[in-house]
Structure 1
Amino acid sequence: MVRTPLTPEERERGERLGRLLRDARGVRTMVAVAAEAGLSAETLRKIETGRAPTPALFTVAALASVLGLSLDDLVERCELLAA
């Protein structure tokens, strides 16, 4: 299966998501947050750096829950940064 290349906007949205999650993580370690969300630290690292710009909804939902973010708030904040 061949993946359709991401648009520049999709890449930018992934980078914004990564920054928001990294900021919300604060001083907590990547390993601790990833473990609490049921993810590997490498998966979280890829999301935070924008190398995984389109993570699965369940992955984002798990991270949002651990970081005390609502999915609605996360979507709004990603969109607000685009303006």
Structure 2
Amino acid sequence: MVRQPLTPAERERGERLGQALRRARGPRSTTDVATAAGISVETLRKIEHGRIPTPAFFTVAALAHTVGLSLDHLCRELRPQPLPA
């Protein structure tokens, strides 16, 4: 099975996810957050920098819980952005 390439909108959404998680992490270290969420530090870094634009749901849920974000809040932040006029 061949995976379809991500669209620019999907890549941009992954970058916004990473930005939201970085903001919510605040001064906590990537090591602390990754350990608490049960993922590797490298995975967290890749998500935060948009290099994993479509992480698994349970990974996102664990990270959101760890940094104190609700999934509802993340969904609102990650809605497609309107195109500039």
Asked if Structure 1 and Structure 2 have the same fold, meaning a TM-score greater than 0.5 normalized by the shorter chain, the answer is yes
SS in 1 for 2:55: coil
Compute the displacement of 1:2 (Å): 1.8
Given the two structures, how large is their TM-score scaled by the length of structure 1? 0.94
SS in 1 for 2:76: helix
Compute the displacement of 1:78 (Å): 1.8
Q: How many corresponding residue pairs?
A: 82
Counting only pairs closer than 5 Å after superposition, residues 6-17 of structure 1 correspond to structure 2 as: 6-17=6-17
SS in 2 for 1:47: helix
Given the two structures, how large is their TM-score scaled by the length of structure 2? 0.92
Instruction: Tell me the distance in 2 between the aligned counterparts of 1:15 and 1:35.
Output: 22
Query: Which letter does structure 2 place at the counterpart of 1:37?
Result: A
Query: Match of 1:73?
Result: 73
Query: Match of 1:52?
Result: 52
RMSD of aligned Cα (Å): 1.1
Q: Once superposed, which parts of structure 1, at least 4 consecutive aligned residues long, lie more than 2 Å away?
A: none
Percent of pairs identical after alignment?
A: 65
More helix by share: 1
Instruction: Tell me the distance in 2 between the aligned counterparts of 1:77 and 1:4.
Output: 25
Q: Which has the larger radius of gyration?
A: 2
- Which structure 2 residue ranges, 5 or more long, are not aligned? none
Compute the displacement of 1:43 (Å): 0.3
Query: Match of 1:29?
Result: 29
